[in-house]
Amino acid sequence: MVVRLGQRLSPRPEPKRPRAPVWTGLRNQFNFSERTSQTLNNGHKERGTMTEPPPSVEYAGQSTQWEMFDAYVEDQDRKREAERKAKKVSKGGEAGKKSEQAGPAESSIHGAAMTHASKILERMVNQNTYDDITHDFKFWEDASDLYREGEGTLLPLWKFYNERTKRKHVTAVKWNPEYPDLFAVGYGSFDFMKQGVGFLCLYSLKNPSFPEFSCQTDSGLLCLDWHPQHSSVLCVGLYDGTVAVYDTRAKKAAPIFQSTVKKGKHTDPVWEVRGIRN
């Protein structure tokens, strides 16, 4: 480099630099901190399902004019009947409704409800009549039985009697398997030269004065037995070879089954019948 005397050296000008952007917002000059952070974003997930469409059913119908008319008439009749019942209840009240269900006065006197009530009343009267015997049956014990080896005292309690079975022999007696106070008695004749009709009677300890059930058979009754499962079914055997089955709950005193000559019955006396459990 050549320097000439008498000339002043001037510094070389520096190149201009771009200025940084100036933040114009207000900052807290006392407690200020600036930080940057970057978090990890979860990736997008896709989930898809596929199901079978529900089964569809197609239903088609056809309605004609007369069908709509019949339905309309039935609906009107039903509404009129409901209105008629509502008016009847409002006029008569509960008493009128009960009287309609009960029916006329004759049915309330001679109906099944009156029969049941009369039977209960009769049993109550008999229990009052035989009150001493009933207590003896439940609680009586003979103190002298302690001093008798192998022997006891026999105390007679009730005597069952029916006017229709007069001059008949008691041929069979069987207690009911379900009701311990009920037993069946068969009447016939052991004099085979003088045979006649027989009788079947059911007696209860609740009413010793009259049988609970009674019916007449065409021949003398020789044996009987209850069904072990159905306590109301009773089978009897007669002298002429007939076997009959009775349902003691029935209102009519007639057998529900009876062997006849057409069914091939035998003609010898039936000495024993036995009910078998199914």
Q: Does one domain contain both 147 and 176?
A: no
CA distances from 129 to 20, 35, 114, 162, 206 (A): 130, 113, 22, 18, 11
Residues 34-46 have pLDDT tens digits of 666 777 778 888 8
Residues 7-24 have pLDDT tens digits of 555 556 666 666 655 555
In this predicted structure, what is the pLDDT of residue 130?
A: 80
Full 3-state SS string of 227-272: CCCCCCEEEEEECCCCEEEEECCCCCCCCCEECCCCCCCCCCCCCC
The residue with greater pLDDT, 237 or 91, is 237
The pTM of this model reads 0.54
Phi and psi torsions of 269, nearest 5°: -65, 145
In this predicted structure, what is the pLDDT of residue 55?
A: 86
Q: Does one domain contain both 170 and 148?
A: no
Q: Does one domain contain both 139 and 206?
A: no
In this predicted structure, what is the pLDDT of residue 98?
A: 55
Q: Does one domain contain both 252 and 172?
A: yes
Domain edge (last residue) among 152, 180, 208: 152
Read out DSSP for 8-19? ---PPPPPPPPP
Query: Under DSSP, is residue 154 helix (H, G, I), strand (E, B) or coil?
Result: coil
How many domains does the chain divide into?
Answer: 2
Least confident of 31-35, 93-97, 195-199, 265-269: 93-97
**Residue 179, domain extent:** 163-258
Task: Give the span between the Cα atoms of 267 and 159, in whole angstroms.
Answer: 35
Q: Does one domain contain both 142 and 167?
A: no
pLDDT band with cut points at 50, 70 and 90 for residue 184: very high
Per-residue tokens: 137: 């049956």
How confident is the model over 132-144, as a mean pLDDT?
78
The residue with greater pLDDT, 72 or 126, is 72
Q: Which of 212, 239, 236 is nearest to 225 (CA)?
A: 236
How would you classify the pairing of strands 257-258 and 233-238?
Answer: unpaired
The residue with greater pLDDT, 99 or 203, is 203
Domain edge (last residue) among 103, 131, 152: 152
Domain edge (last residue) among 101, 121, 152: 152
For residue 1, pLDDT over 50 is answered with: no
| Residue 214 resides in a domain | yes
For residue 110, pLDDT over 90 is answered with: no
How confident is the model over 142-169, as a mean pLDDT?
79
Residues 30-87 have pLDDT tens digits of 666 666 677 777 888 888 888 888 888 888 878 888 888 888 888 999 999 998 888 8
In this predicted structure, what is the pLDDT of residue 3?
A: 47
| Residue 241 resides in a domain | yes
With a pLDDT cut of 70, the percent of the chain lying above it is 79
For residue 90, pLDDT over 90 is answered with: no
Looking at the DSSP bridge assignments, the partners of residue 223 are 237
The residue with greater pLDDT, 91 or 118, is 118
For residue 161, pLDDT over 60 is answered with: yes
Task: Give the span between the Cα atoms of 119 and 121, in whole angstroms.
Answer: 5
Residues 225-270 have pLDDT tens digits of 999 888 889 999 998 888 999 988 887 788 888 887 777 777 788 8
